[in-house]
Structure 1
Amino acid sequence: MASSIQEEIEYVRKNLPPQTKLITANSNFVTAVCEKTPSRSIKVTLTIPSNTTDSSSSYPYKPLIVSIDTQQKNGKTKIPPGLKKKLENQLSKVAEDEISPGKFGQIHAVLVRLHLFVDTNRFVPCWKELKQSMDLISSSSSTTTKKGSSRKCTMSVLSETKGTMKVQFDMNNDYKYACKITIDEGYPTTLSIHDWGKSSFIQTIPSGTNMPDELSTYLTNQAQQFVRLLQDGMPEKEAKSYIAQTNTDGGVPIITEDGHQVPKYDGSNSQLSLLPLIQYLIDTKPSLLDQICPQCEASIFPSDSQTLKSLYIKKKKKIKQKLCPIQSYCGCWYHYGCLHQVLLEPPFGDTCSNDGNDGCGGCQVGHRIFFLDDDGNSNIGTRDEREIMWQMEQRQQRELDDMAMMF
């Protein structure tokens, strides 16, 4: 057991907790940094109380004075005030618990506790975002969209150790969508290349969702794609535009002087994704119920979730299949039958006719509504090919009708 400050400091040097580095250590103060990843580190300064006239008012009879540094190396605020206060209180309590006459050991105990916090709390690099997300959810907890749809949203932290939280949306007192978000240990990027695009990993919670599996999975995957774009380094505004209108040029590679292609966003400058993801969910999920089909100008989604589910039942009737919601390449929502009519029936349209007023407002007139494969080819053929196919179908139908009239 150490019997002086110098002996305790020497003990600390030899028994530093993992991922902890001493910057300064003397009889007046100790400064250390605990870093698990570049974005998940905390710097602390422990001031050693000293009173030359009264030893009972000096260390180790008095607790260390704990101060958390809020600045990163680049000068930007890293630790928000709420986390700073919380952690300082926790570490001060550790120091107080170690007070014992003539016992030196507070420094090591505090650094061990700091390491435990950094090592096990995945919200360290996004604590400010987490607080802002909570405030955003709170301000949007019960609102009505511009077109009259009601929504209620809640958010709760499930585990700081696992970095998980739950977001729940209740729309029009019937539709429900719930998801779990998991913060990666390497946030705002990922520690493993296999998890790339999942710095904020979103998963549908089936027990809190009453939408058809195909639809809820699609919506969740779309949100995950938004996160991936942010992790690639794409700015939030551009990423939202890219998701809403897939035919933007946000992902176009840069051509170097020697003719090589390099990604415009290569992941070297990953963006924060938690708060943008929460904002994206708030902006997109409740507004689904406001979608109007650009072709028939009727509501895309039925007024109740059970009717929507019935559209997805296997062996469904054609009339139901035609009413299934489907999102086109431009970002607008159509009824399946309406999109089929636009593409495969005269005049064999290629572009969206949504004027942005009565429809979803997510695209501009003239944007392509069909998808292309990796080679740039359409799986529905050119306009001439679609017209020929339609003529063949019409001819076959006439032949069937003629045969039916003969019997």
Structure 2
Amino acid sequence: MSFIDQEVTEFRAKCEKQVPHTKIIICSSSLIRVDIYPERPNRSMTVCLRFPENYPQSTQILVELKSRVYSDILLTELTRLIDDYARDFLGKPQALQVLAFAQQYLTDNPLCVCLEEIKQLRADIKTGGTESQLKLKQKNRSVELVAKGGRYTYRVTAVVPDSYPMQSVELRGQESNLPAVLVRYLNGQSKEIARQCVEPPIRMSKEALANFRPVRSLQRSLKFCLEATRDFHTERCPICDSTVLPEYPEDIETDDSADFFIERVYCGHLFHQGCLKKYLSEPPFPKGGKLCPAQRRHPRSDAQTYMGRSQGGGATASKTPDDAVCGIKLAHDRWVVSVKTAEARWAQKQARQRELEEVVDFLQ
């Protein structure tokens, strides 16, 4: 019996017993094909092994990796690592050794399944030119983002489930020195983006529903948190044109009745509360209600760009040029006032002002 035939016989007998989560598909002297994690389609990989000439004395075993889950970048890099590892076993049987190495690598590095997304996030951080950071925790299958904008920070941890990408990442551990209204927005919108990646819309045609496929949610949800946090400290109040957030987080107004308390309206723009009150309470009072006077549509007024679709393709996307005003009706839970009521209040205020001026003139 030749060396290769003997190794193949031994491999067939020991593979599934010694290397967990493996299943032999083909085992012959011309080709060995084994599936790793066949019981977990979202983590599976196929390892193909071939015996070249002069094996194993001067040439290591040939390895080819295949997967519908892992990126080509990962497959190429892991193949290189296996080749380097196999060189240590020249003159010895290598098939079982390299298979065990590949299986252990996938077990020790569960975040391999989202390697491409992690690379994209790191590129996003570099492009943004901020001090934001991305920390990988393989043991906990989690990615921690520390997003920074000015002196403001938002920290969030995305846990990657075993069934990823069929199931979205779980966002937890959020911490921030931003105002509460913006933290609630970041928490809620990032979770909604992740949900939309794996759940079809409620109103969807049968044909569209049949074609719906979950997409990866890690990069989409964390990119939103990264970009929003980076831009908050530069946003300006559409009324007074000064930055909405103070330079130092400790100067944030926490009194919800104060003029400099920060409000976020439905279109996404930020206002000083005093500016918003003044704008809504003064004429003109258009029939359909006042529109947001910001100079352009807010880039995060919906989740389209984070779902891999441009804003130009969505039903809610802006069709106006960037230099046009936002034009979306001003709405907020605390400012639900009809046009008729606003006009009546303005008229009453003006009447009181005239009465006060008459009294002053009389006393003089």
TM over 0.5: yes
Q: 1:285 to 1:352 in 2, by over 3 A?
A: farther
Give the distance between the partners of 2:18 and 2:330, measured in 1 at CA.
Answer: 60
Give the distance between the partners of 1:62 and 1:252, measured in 2 at CA.
Answer: 57
- Find the partner of 1:68 among 61, 65, 70: 65
Tell me the CA shift for residue 329 of structure 1: 0.8
Report if the CA contact (8 A) 1:29-1:45 is conserved: yes
Q: 1:341 to 1:299 in 2, by over 3 A?
A: same
**Equivalences for 1:109-148 in 2 at 5 Å?**
109-140=97-128, 142=129
Q: Deviations over 1:69-126 (max 9, x none)?
A: 3x63xxxx94333x2343224434554566776xx5x433433333333344332222
Report if the CA contact (8 A) 1:66-1:88 is conserved: yes
- Find the partner of 1:230 among 156, 173, 197: 197
Match of 2:217 in 1: 273
**Equivalences for 1:73-222 in 2 at 5 Å?**
78-81=70-73, 83-92=74-83, 95=86, 104=93, 106-140=94-128, 142=129, 152-172=130-150, 174-190=151-167, 198-199=168-169, 201=171, 203-204=173-174, 206=175, 209-222=176-189
Q: Secondary structure at the match of 1:220?
A: helix
Q: 1:97 to 1:40 in 2, by over 3 A?
A: same
Q: Secondary structure at the match of 2:171?
A: strand
Give the distance between the partners of 2:294 and 2:273, measured in 1 at CA.
Answer: 19
Counterpart amino acid of 1:162?
N
Q: 1:340 to 1:17 in 2, by over 3 A?
A: farther
Structure 2, unaligned stretches of length 5 or more?
302-317, 319-324, 357-364
Report if the CA contact (8 A) 2:238-2:293 is conserved: yes
Q: Deviations over 1:303-324 (max 9, x none)?
A: 222212xx12xxx484xx2212
Tell me the CA shift for residue 226 of structure 1: 2.3
Tell me the CA shift for residue 296 of structure 1: 3.4
Tell me the CA shift for residue 45 of structure 1: 1.3
Q: Secondary structure at the match of 1:272?
A: coil
Q: Secondary structure at the match of 1:380?
A: coil
Tell me the CA shift for residue 302 of structure 1: 1.6
Report if the CA contact (8 A) 1:12-1:107 is conserved: no
Give the distance between the partners of 1:13 and 1:216, measured in 2 at CA.
Answer: 51
**Equivalences for 1:1-400 in 2 at 5 Å?**
4-12=6-14, 14-15=16-17, 17-35=19-37, 37-51=40-54, 57-58=55-56, 63-69=60-66, 72=68, 78-81=70-73, 83-92=74-83, 95=86, 104=93, 106-140=94-128, 142=129, 152-172=130-150, 174-190=151-167, 198-199=168-169, 201=171, 203-204=173-174, 206=175, 209-232=176-199, 253-254=203-204, 268-308=212-252, 311-312=253-254, 316=255, 318=257, 321-343=258-280, 350-357=289-296, 365-370=326-331, 380=336, 382-384=338-340, 390=345
Q: Secondary structure at the match of 1:84?
A: helix
Report if the CA contact (8 A) 1:200-1:273 is conserved: no
Counterpart amino acid of 1:331?
G
Counterpart amino acid of 1:304?
Y
Give the distance between the partners of 2:240 and 2:105, measured in 1 at CA.
Answer: 56
Give the distance between the partners of 2:226 and 2:202, measured in 1 at CA.
Answer: 28
Tell me the CA shift for residue 300 of structure 1: 1.3
Tell me the CA shift for residue 7 of structure 1: 2.2
Q: Secondary structure at the match of 2:125?
A: helix
Give the distance between the partners of 2:256 and 2:15, measured in 1 at CA.
Answer: 74
Give the distance between the partners of 1:266 and 1:322, measured in 2 at CA.
Answer: 51
Tell me the CA shift for residue 253 of structure 1: 1.7
Equivalent pairs: percent with the same residue? 18
Tell me the CA shift for residue 212 of structure 1: 3.8
Report if the CA contact (8 A) 2:152-2:233 is conserved: no
Counterpart amino acid of 1:88?
T
Give the distance between the partners of 1:14 and 1:122, measured in 2 at CA.
Answer: 21
Q: 1:6 to 1:289 in 2, by over 3 A?
A: closer
Counterpart amino acid of 1:325?
I
Structure 1, unaligned stretches of length 5 or more?
52-56, 143-151, 191-197, 234-250, 257-261, 373-377, 402-407
Counterpart amino acid of 2:138?
E
Per the normalisation by structure 1, the TM-score is 0.64
Tell me the CA shift for residue 348 of structure 1: 5.9
